[in-house]
Structure 1
Amino acid sequence: MMKSLQFSVPADTNKSIRIQEDIMPNFYPYFHRHTETQIMWILKGHGTLAIEQNLFNFEAGDIFYLGANQSHVFRGNFEKNEKQKVHSISIFFDPHKKIAAFFDLPEFEELKNFISHSEVGFQVASRLTKSIGENIAALQKTKGVDQIIDFIRILNHLMQNRHLHIPLSPEKKLPDHISDTDKRIIDAQTFIKKNFTQHKLTLDLIAKEACMTPQAFCRSFKKRTRITYIEYLNELRVQRACRLLTASSMYSISSVAFNSGFNSLTNFNRVFKSIMKYSPKEYLKHYKEATIQQ
């Protein structure tokens, strides 16, 4: 299990849901989890979402449904001359607490099952983000009964279109219409996730696993994931490095690098800083400070 901070969402004793708008220089930089389910609409910012052992690119306009206690972190990916600014609106709710009485009604049985089956999370289908985003924005302006009714409408809209969403977990069944090339890339991603700590993992080996030439694999991988295979591989390795760094003081930085799949400490430091914006030592220092604050 990923080492992550247990984050406490500020509670409002007078409300069943919490709506939180964040305008900041960057996203919260540490793997964390919370007992509440979160629906997050990203108005400004782009980068990579790391959730459990999975990685997803995101951009402004995307909406994510994150299940309770899913370890995750949104990492901004800004160019050197780009103004760093993120803007998001999140809805936090716990379907097992204050709002639970709604889902126990007979008419809500289908919605209750949808929420239960969505615990692994999903990215909202792109064709729905405009309408769902508008509904989230409107939700901020309502109160009391109207706000709860509008919130239920958002959940119902998501449920009615559940076949369109992108699961955030590999355990989810793939849609029947997936292409052969996409299936090969998904199989390659699974292979990479199982073997990314191996130093002998090469492009030729991965392409062979996908039954493709290296050139065709690279083109298809980037087309489907919007990142190169080496970027994907490095993200996984750095994610593991973060987990090892924060899990125990027994690991030296060189040991973390080796056990995360890097062949040299120099390369590890360079890649880690390019992704996390901190050196491994700086990251660990900031993580410990954040842990104490929690």
Structure 2
Amino acid sequence: MKVLPFKIPKPRNEALVYQVDREEAFYDQLHQHGEIQISYIPQGEGTLIVGDSINEYKAHDILVIGGFVPHVFKSDTVASPRSEMHTLFFDLHSFGKDFFEIADLSLTKEFFKKSELGMRVLSNTQQIIGEFHKLASQNKVEQIATLLTIISLVTKSKTASLSSFVYKKSFSDDEGKRMNNVYKYAMEQYSEPISLEEISTVANMSRNAFCRYFKKRTNKTFFQFLIEIRIENACKLIVNKPELSISLVSEECGFNNIANFNRKFKELKGCSPTQYRTRF
């Protein structure tokens, strides 16, 4: 599956693509593709941006990302020096225009609806992982049957959305590159002060134009987005480095005011940083 700056075209004459990626880090450019992807991650952890939202991913996650939903994986190569992902790519019409419309497959409608915002599977994961383990030795007919089994299992499972808003229009390559540059800069520089003038320059836009552009495509301001990145990274430090004080975590994640950090943390996570550490 060839990767372009923002689009991944489906290989010719293949209705279903099964792909295994084993790398030091996953492809870290913001991208979208027409295919829905169902991914199992045996190894690796890091940050996942889907649509307007920042998430963590870790080993043994099962993730579903809908067609044309912008997303990017940012691997944490310190926490996990190797990354591995097994993915099924397909779309609503892969097996014929009306295949998923037949009455026997009516239960799949919920799957496709939820995939529009992306989802993390929270139950039945061992059964789904078991199905993924079969794929490497299967022929195409068997892989299609396994895909239907996985969709059925996901439909029966408890899930959590990966985003709350997805820009409905497909991005052009130029737009994809611009948003990728903004996301990449924010994920790499979140611990430092970032001004509106600075990030507008990264996007090669005026400040006012950038604010309108970003809000339209993510349904939030850039600084709301930046705070979410900082809080997600704070969560990792709180759990993985218990020797760090909450005050130091706050500083390392770009907050210069502990009271503001505590307030934003509670807004996004529903508890204080200290309570979060106790839970995990």
Q: Which amino acid aligns with 1:119?
A: E
Aligned-partner residue type, residue 91 of structure 1: L
- 1:218 is aligned to 273
Matched with 1:147 is: 143
Q: 1:52 to 1:221 in 2, by over 3 A?
A: farther
Q: Which residue of 1 aligns with 2:224?
A: 193
Query: Counterparts of 2:33 and 2:59 in 1: how far apart (Å)?
Result: 23
Is the Cα contact below 8 Å between 2:42 and 2:84 reproduced in 1? yes
Amino acid aligned to 1:69: F
Structure 2 residue 144 is the aligned partner of structure 1 residue 89: no
**Residue segments in structure 2 that go unaligned for 5+ positions in a row:** 166-219, 229-253
Deviation of 1:169 after TM superposition, in Å, equals: 1.8
Residue 211 of structure 1: how far off its partner (Å) = 7.5
Contact 1:67 1:119 in 2 (8 A): yes
Q: 1:201 to 1:9 in 2, by over 3 A?
A: farther
Aligned to 1:256: none
C-alpha distance after superposition, 1:46-84 (max 9, x if no partner): 1111222211112111111011111111111122xx772
CA distance in 2, matches of 1:112, 1:12: 26
**Counterpart in 2 of 1:165?**
159
Cα contact 2:37–2:66 (8 A) shared by 1: yes
User: What does 1:1-294 correspond to in 2, within 5 Å?
Assistant: 5-13=5-13, 15-79=14-78, 84-125=81-122, 127-161=123-157, 164-170=158-164, 193=224, 196=227, 202-205=257-260, 207-208=262-263, 217-221=272-276
Answer yes or no: is the 8 Å Cα contact 1:42–1:89 preserved in 2.
yes
* 1:217 CA drift (Å): 1.3
Sequence identity of aligned pairs in percent?
A: 22
3-state SS of 2:164 partner? coil
Q: Classify 1:223/1:119 alpha carbon distance in 2 versus 1 (closer, same or farther; 3 Å).
A: farther
Q: Which residue identity does 1:193 align to in structure 2?
A: Q
Shift of 1:98: 3.3
Where 1:33 maps in the other structure, the secondary structure is coil
1:221-264 CA-partner distances (Å, limit 9, x unpaired): 5567x7xxxxxxxxxxxxxxxxxxxxxxxxxxxxxxxxxxxxxx
CA RMSD in angstroms comes to 3.3
Deviation at 1:9, TM superposition (A): 4.1
Distance 2:159 2:51 in 1: 18
Question: What is the Cα deviation at residue 113 of structure 1?
Answer: 3.8
Displacement after TM superposition at 1:147 (Å): 2.3
Deviations 1:190-235 (A, max 9, x none): 99837849x99844235447879xxx611235567x7xxxxxxxxx
- C-alpha distance 131-220 of structure 1, shift in aligned 2 (>3 A): same
SS of corresponding position for 2:19:
strand
Whole-angstrom CA distance in 1 between matches of 2:40 and 2:225: 31
SS of 2:55's equivalent? strand
- Equivalent pairs, count: 195
TM-score (norm 1): 0.57
Distance 1:223 1:168, change over 3 A: farther
What one-letter code is carried by the residue in structure 2 that aligns with 1:106? A
Runs of 4+ residues over 6 Å off in structure 1: 209-212
Please give the TM-score of this superposition, normalised by the length of structure 2. Answer: 0.60
For 2:225 and 2:145, how far apart are their aligned partners in 1? 44
Moved more, 36-45 or 137-146: 137-146
d(CA) in 2 for partners of 1:108, 1:141 = 26
> By how many angstroms is 1:155 displaced?
0.2
